[in-house]
Amino acid sequence: MEFVKLQLEAPLAVVTICRPECRNALNRQVYEELIALLCQVEAMDQIRVVILTGAGDQAFAAGADIAQMVAQDALAGRQLSALCHRAADLLENMRQVTIAAVNGYALGGGFELTLACDLRLAAEEARFALPEVTLGIIPGGGGTQRLARLIGVGRAKELIFTGDRMDARQAENLGLVNHVVPGQELMAACRALGQKIASRAGYAVSLAKSAINASLDIDRKNGAEREQDLLALAFSTRDKQEGMEAFLARRRPVFQDF
Ligand code: COA
């Protein structure tokens, strides 16, 4: 892999977008490598949490590669958008928990990748925007779909119609970012949160992720049904027995299902 690096620190995996000379801009190859790598990681039983970040201290990712897009026609644009969606859908739906470590600019497609992660932690220096309308296009990696669900339609429309930038505190106030920390503490904060999540029953966490995601896509009644079915599935696991017996015996549980 040339532009996306994987560091395995089981139970964590750190995935880094590496094109620092152009603020980690996302060209086709970056998306293809990211998709291939996320598919690999999803198959790894020992990995419970994926931390996605950008190389250097300037940018998480400054969006799709404008130098590549400038020469592209409608079909190529559509294909690029499909790739962005595929990467975002993987982050959103993979069985591992995904954390965006936003270390600088998260613009356009970069912002959209963070929106697809389960959790977002930001450095104080982080900046977020969907500036596509300043380039004559619209967000194509799920921004028009996911942002409104996270912060409401009115706020999402203002950000997308203006292309305005938001700093980390503004993003936190909107509920977009879980925590803001000094830049040099960002990866440690992500690892600490990742370790805490990884210490819980892994299969139960993935079932909870699936149930919460379903609540965004299906109506309340079917969502409630899904929750009950997934809870029943959790009752069938060794971890349920272990977690409850450990509680009653006043000892630490040793979880194994994933
Ligand atoms: N695509 C291609 N190249 C990009 C890029 C992008 N999205 N973002 C930055 N770069 C390149 C610049 O062209 C520049 O290349 P050069 O050194 O060969 O001239 C290099 O990265 C550094 O960028 P620069 O603008 O000089 O850095 P900066 O720190 O002053 O500003 C940004 C950083 C991210 C604010 C600014 O580069 C920017 O606004 N980028 C475009 C963001 C955008 O519109 N993304 C949405 C795409 S749909």
Residue 42 among the catalytic residues: no
pLDDT band at 26 (very low <50, low <70, confident <90, very high): very high
Annotated active-site residue in 132, 172, 225, 227: 132
Ligand 1 close to Cβ of residue 67 (< 6 A): yes
Ligand 1 close to Cβ of residue 127 (< 6 A): no
Strands 12-17 and 4-9 come out as: antiparallel
Nearest CA to ligand 1 atom 23: 22
Span 178-196, pLDDT tens digits: 999 999 999 999 999 999 9
Pocket test for ligand 1, best of 23, 162, 164, 165 (most atoms within 8 A of CB): 23
CA-to-CA distance for 230 and 7, rounded, in angstroms? Answer: 32
The mean pLDDT of 217-222, rounded to a whole number, is 94
pLDDT at 126: 98
Atom of ligand 1 nearest to the CA of 67: 2
Encode 25-58: b = buried (16+ Cβ within 10 Å), e = exposed: bbbbbbbbbbbebbeebeeeeebbbbbbbbbbee
Strands 166-167 and 127-129 come out as: antiparallel
pLDDT at 195: 98
Residue 227, CA distances (Å) to 72, 146, 207 in order: 44, 22, 9
**Three-class DSSP category at 117:** coil
Residue 132 among the catalytic residues: yes
Ligand 1 close to Cβ of residue 66 (< 6 A): yes
pLDDT band at 136 (very low <50, low <70, confident <90, very high): very high
Ligand 1 close to Cβ of residue 30 (< 6 A): no
Span 87-101, pLDDT tens digits: 999 999 999 999 999
Ligand 1 close to Cβ of residue 100 (< 6 A): no
The mean pLDDT of 129-156, rounded to a whole number, is 98
